[in-house]
Amino acid sequence: GAVGCLERIKNPISVARKVMENSKHVMLVGNGAYEFAVAQGFKPMDLLTDNARKQWLKWKESSGGNWIKEIQENHDTVGIIALDSKRRISGGVSTSGLAWKIHGRVGDSPIIGAGLYVDGEVGGAASTGVGEANMRIVGSHIVVEAMRNGKSPQEACEEAIQRAIKMHLRVIKKDSSFQLAYIALNLNGEVGAAAIRPGFQYAVYKDGVNKLINSKFLYTG
């Protein structure tokens, strides 16, 4: 289940689960997603903070509303892949979305196969970074299919990152903030992660212990 362009609902990932459990659909967006959320008992609320409004007004005044020139990758995305003692795997991704985006822009987080992909017979993968780059290669699906074909989660994440680098190399060379990263988990509990550039960290929780790990990065240009 997935939702996109959902406004005034505090926990959209919970609405996405309701789409999966209580509808025949895979994805709902915009007003339809909002109406579904309300029908499922979610309470609308004003989520715009004073600080966010001030930042938006400052950007609007300085940029003149020029999205193309002034847009930057400013977001918070969280992705989780979980495996229980019965080898049942699940995953979820939620994001604030890209700051100052054009109204109607949908990122990779709700796109199944891009922001998230889970197969109960193989494993799961999730992504963060430049959503448009990830959607062009449907990266999380690449990761899971690579694991299906025998690669470890680490090898699978690296395969997807290499694909992204190959497709976006010219932009990567020009834009030092261009980043994309994947995490993966298979049914044996093996974990992997890879990113284009240094700086991506991921957490692993196992046997009551949390570990924060620096991801391997592949671009060194």
Q: How far apart are CA 127 and CA 116, in angstroms?
A: 7
Question: The whole model's pTM is what?
Answer: 0.90
Predicted local distance difference test score (pLDDT) of residue 102 = 85
Is pLDDT above 50 for 97?
yes
Predicted pLDDT at 70: 47
- Let me know how long the chain is: 221
> What span, in angstroms and rounded, lies between the C-alpha atoms of 161 and 156?
9
Strands 201-206 and 27-29 turn out to be: unpaired
Residue positions annotated with a catalytic role = 77
Picking from 24-28, 95-99, 122-126, 178-182, which range would have the lowest pLDDT averaged per residue?
95-99
Res 100: pLDDT: 76
140-162: average pLDDT: 99
Give backbone dihedrals phi and psi of 20, rounded to 5 degrees, phi first.
-65, -40
The answer to whether residues 37 and 10 touch, using CB atoms and an 8 Å cutoff, is no
Alpha carbon distance 146, 140 (integer Å): 10
State residue 149's pLDDT score.
Answer: 99
| b/e per residue 130-150 (b: at least 16 CB within 10 A) | bbebbbebbbbbbbbbbbeee
Q: What is the mean pLDDT of residues 155-159?
A: 99
> Which residue would you say has higher pLDDT here, 58 or 19?
19
Of 138 and 101, the structure prediction assigns the larger pLDDT to 138
Q: Where are the domains of the chain?
A: 2-39, 75-217
User: DSSP secondary-structure letter at 177?
Assistant: T
| More confident of the two residues 96 and 22 | 22
Whether pLDDT at 148 is above 70: yes
Name the fold adopted by 75-217. Glutamine Phosphoribosylpyrophosphate, subunit 1, domain 1 (3.60.20)
As to burial, measured by CB atoms within 10 angstroms (0-12 exposed, 13-18 middle, 19+ buried), residue 105 is middle
pLDDT above 90 for 96:
no
pLDDT digits (tens, 9 = 90+) for 160-215: 999 999 999 999 999 999 999 999 999 999 999 999 999 999 999 999 999 999 99
Q: 32-85: per-residue pLDDT in tens?
A: 999 999 999 999 999 988 988 898 888 778 766 565 554 454 557 999 999 999
The mean predicted confidence, pLDDT, of the chain is 93
